[in-house]
Amino acid sequence: MISLFQPQVGDEELAAVAEVVASRWLGHGPRTAAFEAEFAEHLGVDPARVVFLASGSASLFLAIESLDLGPGDEVVLPSVSFIAAANAIVSCGARPVFCDVDPRTLNPTAEDVAAAITPRTKAVVVLHYGGYPGDVERIAALCRDRGVELVEDAACSVASRVGGRACGTFGDSAIWSFDAMKVLTTGDGGMLYVRDPDRALRVRRLAYHGLAQLSGFSGAKSSRQWWKLDVQEPGRRVIGNDLTAAIGSVQLRRLGGLVARRREIVELYDRELADVPGVLPPPALPEGHETSYYFYWVQLADGIRDDVASDLYAAGIYTTFRYEPLHKVPLYGFDGELPHSDHLATRTLCLPLHPGLTDADVHTVVSQLRKAVEARTTA
């Protein structure tokens, strides 16, 4: 089976994990701090404002929780988003308000976001679809003008930039995911960036039960009774650990090569699919935009996408659609029409994309896609 995603880990990651095991310190410790500092340098931000956590979803929940939302508050987000974003909003008692997206990029425009903002809007969560930055500069300016918080869901955008500036640094906070399917993986894990220094300290406390210090061992250097509890507000335990952080440090060093191979695969897809009738590749990146090349999506004629996906699966090629529009989920109680989201949800398909693909794999995907589309179009 040609997989949609596949983690790229090997001897370097194994050696890093072996060092942690040999040190006998597996939990939150020096390698976690090192990974946070390295990732902060990658972003160009203060490492004190970057926190390594157990997952991207945990990071997103904590980012939303730190906004102190409640009943009557609204948070705008694109309907084409991962379900964690809406769940994080609902868990705080606030209401998710979904906006539409551009039908080709699957990212919201500033106009899409503005149309959904009301006097009750406290925040906007924006996803960079497939690692493509989208309209983040204009959305950030809009949020500043309207006085609402901007949370960047940069889960797919670890290497994405606009004008040389890292995605995730345009808003007030941002999260990244390092699960097994992502461009940079730690097996599972996530990173949270908070621009405000006081709030950054707060989320670090909330990530470990609200304790002012993470470790009694480190507290022994400054206190005679280091076991005393200093809890300013309740939190939960979602901190990262040195085992996964060690993998993250290696992956971050390898990131340029991983993204370069992804770019080669995307360029090969673009060339091979340029003349395939009925298959629309992703649009070109705007000038100054850099992507992480997380998704490669095509758009097909209405009515054939599901059959094409089944044909590809039967041929040993796994595809999917990400993300099913959230405004259709009854739990979230959204009452409105988002025509672009509805339309693209019936015709978009994500093809395999990861550095483990060979050129021959890509040619196989393209050949089988061409065959399936032709069969379903002429049937």
Asked if 236 and 264 sit in the same domain, the reply is no
pLDDT over 80 (residue 16): yes
Q: Residues with catalytic annotation? A: 182
Q: Is residue 260 included in any domain, yes or no? A: yes
Residues 238 and 300 in one domain: no
Write b or e for each residue in 115-142: b if 16 or more Cβ atoms lie within 10 A of its Cβ, otherwise e.
ebbeeebbbbbbbbbbbbbbbbbebbeb
pLDDT at 240: 97
- Domain boundary residue, one of 198, 222, 251: 251
Do residues 141 and 276 share a domain?
no
> What is the pLDDT, as a whole number, of residue 222?
59
What would the pLDDT profile of 127-182 be if each residue is shown by its tens digit?
999 999 999 999 999 999 999 999 999 999 999 999 999 999 999 999 999 999 99
- The burial of 150, by beta-carbon neighbours within 10 Å (0-12 exposed, 13-18 middle, 19 or more buried), is given as buried
Question: Do 155 and 21 reside in the same domain of the chain?
Answer: yes
**Per-residue pLDDT tens digits for 218-227:** 555 656 677 7
Sheet holding 149-153, edge to edge: 50-53, 190-194, 173-177, 149-153, 121-127, 74-78, 95-99
Number of H helices, E strands in the chain: 12, 13
Q: Within a domain: residue 4?
A: no
- Concatenate the DSSP letters of all residues of 252-309 into one string: HHHHHHHHHHHHHHHHHHHHHHTT-TTEEPPPPPPTTEE-----EEEEE-TTTHHHHH
Assess contact for 375 and 311: CB atoms under 8 A. yes
Q: H or E element: which one contains 124?
A: strand 121-127
Domain that holds residue 303: 256-378
pLDDT of the residue at 229: 79
Over residues 100-123, the pLDDT tens digits come to: 999 999 999 999 999 999 999 999
CATH of the domain at 369: 3.90.1150.10
Q: What is the pLDDT of residue 213?
A: 66
Q: Are residues 99 and 199 in the same domain?
A: yes
Is residue 4 within 8 Å of 319, Cβ to Cβ? Answer: yes
* pLDDT tens figures, 327-343: 999 999 999 999 999 99
d(CA 157, CA 65): 22
> How many domains does the chain contain in total?
2
pTM summary value: 0.95
Q: In Å, how far from its chain's centre is CA 144?
A: 22
CA angle 265/271/273 to nearest 5° reads 95
pLDDT tens by residue, 286-331? 999 999 999 999 999 989 999 999 999 999 999 999 999 999 999 9
pLDDT at 227: 72
More confident residue, 209 or 2: 2
Listed in sequence order, the residues at least 6 apart from 256 whose beta carbon sits closer than 8 Å to its beta carbon are: 159
Residue 267: its pLDDT value, please?
Answer: 98
How does residue 280 score in pLDDT terms, banded at 50, 70 and 90? very high
Q: What proportion of the chain, given as a percentage, has pLDDT over 90?
A: 91
Angle between helical axes of 359-378 and 305-314 (0-180°, round to 10): 130
